[in-house]
Homo-oligomer: A and B are copies of this chain.
Amino acid sequence: MGDKPEAWQAAPGDMPPDEFRTHGHRLVEWIADYMQHGERYPVLSRANPGQIRASLPSGPPHSPESLDRVLGDLDEVILPGITHWNQPGFLAYFAITGSAPGVLGEMLASALNVNAMLWRASPAATELEEVVLDWLRQLVGLPDSFDGVIYDTASIGSLIAIAAAREAVGLDIRRRGMAGRGDLPRLRLYCSEHAHSSIEKDAITLGFGTEGVRKVVVDGDQRMDATALRQDVEEDIRSGWRPFCVVATVGTTSATSIDPLPEIADVCRDHRIWLHVDAVYGGLAAILPEMRWVLDGAERADSIIFNPHKWLFTPLDCNAFYSRRLDVVRDAFSLVPPAYLQTPEGDEVKDFMNYGPQLGRRFRGLKLWFVLRTYGAEGLRARLRDHIRLARMFAEWVAGDPDWEVMAPVPFSTVCFRARPGEVPASQLDALNLAIEQRVNASGKIFISHTVLGETVALRVAIGHIRTGERHLRSAWDELTRALSSSRPVPTRTSSPAGAAQHTRD
């Protein structure tokens, strides 16, 4: 130990705190301005493929650059390539929100930068996660037999549920795997054709293959047909398959339909199948007493997921996973920890790393805590209630106009609809609606998306941004009706006034 510390050159260290202060304050102002005036940007980016890449250097800078330059490029280079998910005109996919308190929570999480892998790695990260999960459980009205874990995305939440279902089958797959075993049946998962695409991806990832997923037919309202599910399951059992998991959805992505949980739970009970409920969007509506019914039957599920990052004003990413059988989840994933992850606390605490594949875990409970506290149950309910109100208002506008029609029930905050002017033949309606979508999105004022129901294109307006209000819906409706006018075939001289007015609906 003869070395003198002075002999060693000093470390360069981090940006000086005062510089962080200067730029941090500047960025707070930038974000406040973005929240207040971000509607000046076109919602859907107008960038062409490759345009942003072309405005960036092809290699990293050799020397440090000032944050001034970086923040300058933010405005000039990055923003033109941003599609503004965090603005109220965003009505596509499922609209989401990085709310003001959520942004502050996320900022703090990155400054603390804890990895919530083990309890000891930050007791507050683990315990706050437990607490906010329990708060959310109470808000949506699940029984306290459900315990939770926060994951990044619904894709992973469902992957973990399906892996737990595999574990619950009791075929020793965790140890022996699935390939090359003569003693295993083929394993099958069931969901409707409207289940989220991540379910099929999860099945592929977990080694069941696309053939391991059977898509159950839906009824006229896009809800899984539970009778068909029972028939599919029983037919598969006769053919030697082992049904091991059903994924039901509360609020499907296309039409926000609600699969009939009680009837599906009956099938799962009768055949000892793990029931996983994907309630990432629609299930959050259950924080409203008048919407609690959307989770009827969910208390019988083995696992259920919600995305606070979807319709609870929490910045990406935050998936709340609950299970009545968290021990099975743990069995599916926990290892005898390597020495470097063994801690003296042992079973006295919950080490979340044991409940999934990911060792690295951000402190996601923090932003959810900021959101739940600053809005309160009452504030969250008011906002969701308002979104549902706006959707019904929009649907009424659509239904009240003879040139348009609503394409699916509107239980939540999403409306599926299309233009169907009488003079346009049925075979051209898909093209017409896609043209309307493109024209509306080019306006820059709103951004909507589309889906296909049955074999018919439907436009979708999804309300989920915290600042979306009536004027945005009004603007959307104006753009849509204007786009229809411009897209309509010009009436020919030979068409009689009576003919033009005649709207045959089928």
Contact = CB atoms under 8 A, between A and B. Distances in A.
A124 interface: yes
Interface in A350-397: 357-360, 362, 366-367, 369-370, 372-379, 382-383, 386-387, 389-390, 393, 396-397
Given A85-B122, A177-B209, A179-B184, A49 B348 contact: yes
B45 A13 contact: no
A35 interface: yes
A348 B48 CA distance: 10
Given A18-B32, A20-B103, A59-B138, 4 more contacts: A3-B396, A176-B209, A179-B207, A179-B212
Interface stretch (A94-102, A320-328, A491-499): A94-102
Interface residues of A, number: 203
15 contacts: A5-B471, A11-B470, A14-B99, A14-B100, A14-B467, A17-B33, A64-B378, A85-B114, A85-B115, A102-B110, A110-B316, A177-B211, A180-B186, A198-B358, A344-B438
A376 B64 contact: yes
A69 interface: yes
Contacts of A471: 5
A120 B52 CA distance: 12
Contact of A376 (B24, B62, B135): B62
B5 A17 contact: no
Contacts of A370: 67, 70
Contact of A20 (B49, B50, B104): B104
B359 A155 contact: yes
A13 B339 contact: no
A375 B1 CA distance: 33
Contacts of A80: 124
